[in-house]
Amino acid sequence: MTQNEREVAEKTFVMLKPDALERGLVGEIVARLERKGLKLERLETKRLSKELIARHYAHLVGRDFYGELESYATRGDVIASIWRGPGAIAIVRKLVGATDGAEAEPGTIRGDFALGGTENLVHASDSPEAARREIALFFGDAR
């Protein structure tokens, strides 16, 4: 990394959802982010409460699919993580692919491993504001 790249480095929040752990895809997903050159700063296995998932997905509470999303996200352990690198937020979103695995491009995590629009393996922050909010929500103390 050059000096300038270090200066513009940003942090993003990535969560491996229960299907990633159930299907044994944790190593595969983490390896893709590492190989891209992103740095893993924090990583923790957690079991999410309904309250935490409602705060995390506050913008989706009340949508017709929210009940399904809530039971999916709380049915097993997740892995919460923080990744750092220049342009990390947009880069991780690209590596993850479109929300619906059926639409996601091959070569992306969802395009290669997910079939549908709910069980899509991974969450990644979509903006600097979301990254700050999500890192604070899941890791409190981390900046």
Give catalytic residue positions: 123
Does the protein bind ligand UDP through residue 108 (CB under 6 A)? Answer: no
User: Collapsing DSSP states into helix, strand and coil, what is residue 1?
Assistant: coil
Among 118, 132, 133, 139, binds ligand UDP (CB under 6 A): 118
Does the protein bind ligand UDP through residue 103 (CB under 6 A)? Answer: no
Token pair recorded at residue 104: 């996601």
Closest among 47, 61, 50 to 15, alpha carbons compared = 47
Does the protein bind ligand UDP through residue 126 (CB under 6 A)? Answer: yes
Looking only at residues 46 through 85 of this chain, which bind ligand UDP when binding is defined by CB under 6 A?
Answer: 60, 65, 68-69
Asked whether 43 and 81 are in contact (CB, 8 A), the reply is yes
Strand ranges of the sheet holding 78-86, from the earlier edge strand across to the other edge: 39-46, 78-86, 9-16, 122-124
Does the protein bind ligand UDP through residue 123 (CB under 6 A)? Answer: yes
Q: Which residues contact 90 (CB under 8 A, 6 or more apart)?
A: none
Binding mask 3-42 for ligand UDP (x = CB under 6 A): ----------------------------------------
Site residues (CB under 6 A) for ligand UDP?
A: 60, 65, 68-69, 99, 117-118, 120, 123, 126
